[in-house]
Amino acid sequence: MITFSVNRRLLLGKSKICDGVGLFAGQKLKNGDFIGEYKGEILTFTEALERRQVIYKNMNLNYLFDLD
C-alpha cells in the first residue's frame, strides 16, 4: 500500500457547471499529481437519487455529487 503525505491547496467555490459548490485546485497541478483520497460512500444512482436525496433534502444536508 502506498501512503501519500502531500499537502495541496484546495479551494471551495461556486460551481459553474451545476448548482452548488465545487472543489478547485488553488495551485498548478501536473497530470498524475496526487490530490487527495475520497473516503465516503459510493452509491448507485438509484440509491442516491431515489432514497438518500429525499432524506438529506428534508434535513437540509444534501451533499451528493458525481465523480467523473
pLDDT score recorded for residue 48: 82
Taking Cα atoms as reference points, which of 36, 68, 64, 35 lies closest to residue 50?
64
Q: What is the spatial distance between Cα 64 and Cα 21, in angstroms, rounded to a whole number?
A: 11
What SS3 class is residue 48? Answer: helix
Q: Cell 478547485 appears where?
A: 24
Question: What does the pLDDT read at residue 23?
Answer: 81
Residue 24, beta-bridge partner list? 11
Cα separation, 44 vs 29, whole angstroms: 30
Residue type, 47: E
pLDDT of residue 38: 76
The pTM score is: 0.47
pLDDT confidence of residue 61: 72
* pLDDT 10s digits, 13-67: 888 877 777 888 888 988 988 887 778 888 888 888 788 888 877 777 766 777 6
